[in-house]
């Protein structure tokens, strides 16, 4: 039996068993990434699509995804590779690619405006070993690295990657324990600790998807943005007000089709609330 140290679930796995996220397996008594180098999606995307609005604007980034996720968001837009039955079929048809080949591909696309690699689409941190190896090579080749994550990982994982990642977009999906625990199968306190450390290591932008009836009150947005504004550089200097926040519109999809899309006016109103504390607030999907 071996314990996984990546996220709050701390899955205990017997030899050959796979964890809750579907991306980690116990092999030779150690829990490791089963999805190492297994690629389900590869695309040259605008940096703004990650979304990152204040990092290399106008550039492209070679975006790579594998399979598996440690959360269970019922509205997941990437459920075909994250946690549906289809995700496990995607796993079987994924193509294996080495960090060396991925970096060479990123270099090839440099002439088309590519800045480097983005680890995204599924939850990259459940396969952090591949992120580390590819990001290290990309840095050595003079490229940049972007991580798009739900931030549900132990700080030890973040420290392994910290030196190689130049920018992150981290989901801060809401600001109540109930929402994270009951609807998403997550852990708000782990995400907060991750964000608080990440802002000290690299450029960070945050995304909050506004789901009608769940996390859409002005009071919750006020508490969330106040907390972000209070983030520090580790030496008591407050830097949080400069952390960009994307307030994003929900659309019914996957297993959450029982409500309408968030009204555009509500997204704008909540973005205005966040602006009381934060300098860079963007309304997304509107
Ligand atoms: S990363 Fe996966 S295997 Fe590890 S504790 Fe989390 S859900 Fe379990």
What local confidence, expressed as pLDDT, does residue 208 receive? 98
- Cα 3 to ligand 1 centroid, rounded to whole Å: 9
In whole angstroms, give the CA distance from residue 161 to residue 163.
Answer: 6
Tokens of 204: 């960070």
Element (H, E) at 129: helix 128-140
What local confidence, expressed as pLDDT, does residue 103 receive? 98
Strand-pairing partners, residue 248, are 209, 284
What local confidence, expressed as pLDDT, does residue 88 receive? 76
Q: Is the CB of 126 under 6 A from ligand 1?
A: yes
8 A C-beta contact, residue 221 and residue 174: no
What local confidence, expressed as pLDDT, does residue 279 receive? 98
Residue 10 CA: nearest ligand 1 atom is 5
- Cα 67 to ligand 1 centroid, rounded to whole Å: 13
What local confidence, expressed as pLDDT, does residue 89 receive? 79
Q: Which of 250, 266, 246, 269 is nearest to 258 (CA)?
A: 250
Mutate to test the pocket of ligand 1, among 5, 7, 17, 26 (most ligand atoms within 8 A of CB): 7
What local confidence, expressed as pLDDT, does residue 195 receive? 98
Alpha carbon nearest to ligand 1 atom 3, residue: 19
What local confidence, expressed as pLDDT, does residue 86 receive? 76
8 A C-beta contact, residue 64 and residue 52: no
What local confidence, expressed as pLDDT, does residue 19 receive? 96
What local confidence, expressed as pLDDT, does residue 139 receive? 98
Give the other-Cβ count within 10 Å of 65's Cβ. 25
8 A C-beta contact, residue 138 and residue 176: no
What local confidence, expressed as pLDDT, does residue 170 receive? 98
Mutate to test the pocket of ligand 1, among 70, 157, 190, 191 (most ligand atoms within 8 A of CB): 70
Q: Is the CB of 26 under 6 A from ligand 1?
A: no
What local confidence, expressed as pLDDT, does residue 87 receive? 74
What local confidence, expressed as pLDDT, does residue 93 receive? 83
Per-residue pLDDT of the chain (286 residues), as tens digits, is 999 999 999 999 999 999 999 999 999 999 999 999 999 999 999 999 999 999 999 999 999 999 999 999 999 988 888 887 777 777 788 899 999 999 999 999 999 999 999 999 999 999 999 999 999 999 999 999 999 999 999 999 999 998 999 999 999 999 999 999 999 999 999 999 999 999 999 999 999 999 999 999 999 999 999 999 999 999 989 999 999 999 999 999 999 999 999 999 999 999 999 999 999 999 999 9
Q: Is the CB of 178 under 6 A from ligand 1?
A: no
Residue 126 CA: nearest ligand 1 atom is 1
What local confidence, expressed as pLDDT, does residue 150 receive? 98
Contacts of 132 (CB under 8 A, 6+ apart): 160, 161, 164
- Cα 18 to ligand 1 centroid, rounded to whole Å: 9
What local confidence, expressed as pLDDT, does residue 84 receive? 72
């Amino acid at each position: 039996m071996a314990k996984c140290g990546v996220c709050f679930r701390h899955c205990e796995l017997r030899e050959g068993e796979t964890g809750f996220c579907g991306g980690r397996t116990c092999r030779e008594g150690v829990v490791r990434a089963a999805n190492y180098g297994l690629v389900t999606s590869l695309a040259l995307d605008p940096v703004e699509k990650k979304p990152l609005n204040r990092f290399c604007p106008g550039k492209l980034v070679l975006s790579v995804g594998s399979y598996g996720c440690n959360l269970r968001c019922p509205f997941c837009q990437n459920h075909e590779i994250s946690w549906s039955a289809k995700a496990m079929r995607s796993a079987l048809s994924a193509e294996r690619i080495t960090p060396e080949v991925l970096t060479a591909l990123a270099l090839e696309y440099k002439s088309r405006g590519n800045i480097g690699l983005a680890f995204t689409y599924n939850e990259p941190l459940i396969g952090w070993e591949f992120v580390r190896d590819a990001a290290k090579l990309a840095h050595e080749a003079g490229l940049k690295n972007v991580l798009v994550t739900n931030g549900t990982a132990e700080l030890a994982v973040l420290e392994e990657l910290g030196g190689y990642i130049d920018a992150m977009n981290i989901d801060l999906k809401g600001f109540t324990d109930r929402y994270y625990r009951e609807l998403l199968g997550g852990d708000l306190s782990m995400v907060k600790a991750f964000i608080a450390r990440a802002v000290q290591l690299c450029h960070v932008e945050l995304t909050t998807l506004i789901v009608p009836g769940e996390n859409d009150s002005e009071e919750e947005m006020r508490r969330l943005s106040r907390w972000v504004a209070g983030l520090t550089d580790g030496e008591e200097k407050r830097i949080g007000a400069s952390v960009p926040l994307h307030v994003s519109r929900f659309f019914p999809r996957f297993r959450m089709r029982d409500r309408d899309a968030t009204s555009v006016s509500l997204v704008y109103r909540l973005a205005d609330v966040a602006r009381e504390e934060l300098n860079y607030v963007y309304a997304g999907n509107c």
